[in-house]
Chain A
Amino acid sequence: MGKTGHIVSSFDNDLLEIRNAIIKMGGLAEVQLKSATQALVDRNTELARQTIEADMEVDELEKTIDTMAVRLLALRHPVADDLRLVISALKIVSLLERVADYAANLAKRVVALNNAANLPMVGTIPRMSELVCHMIGDTLTAYSQNDDYLALEVWRRDHAVDQLYNSVFRELLTYMMEDPRSITSCTHLMFIAKNIERIGDHMTNISEIIIYQVTGLAPIEPRPKGDETSTIMIENEIIKSEYAEGE
Chain B
Amino acid sequence: MQTRPPVTDWATDFDHFDPQWTANPYPIWADLRQRCPVATSQRFEDGGYLPTRYDDVREIAYDAEHFSSRRVIVREHKLPLGASTAPPITSDPPEHTAARKVLLPAFAPKEIARLEDKTRAVCRSLLDAMGDRAEVDGAVDYAQHIPVRVIAHMLGVPEEDGDLFRSWIQRVLVDGVRNPQIVPPTVAEMTAYFDQRIDERSAQPGEDLVSFLLAARVDGAPLSREHVLGSLRLILIAGIDTTWSGIGASLWHLATHPQDRARLVAAPGLMQTAIEEFLRAYSPVTMAREVVKERDVGGCPFKPGGQILLSFPAANRDPAVFEAPDEFRIDREVNPHAAFGLGRHRCIGSNLARMEMTIAIQEWLARFPDFTETPGRTTTWSEGTVRGPRRMPITILRRA
- Real complex partners, A and B? no
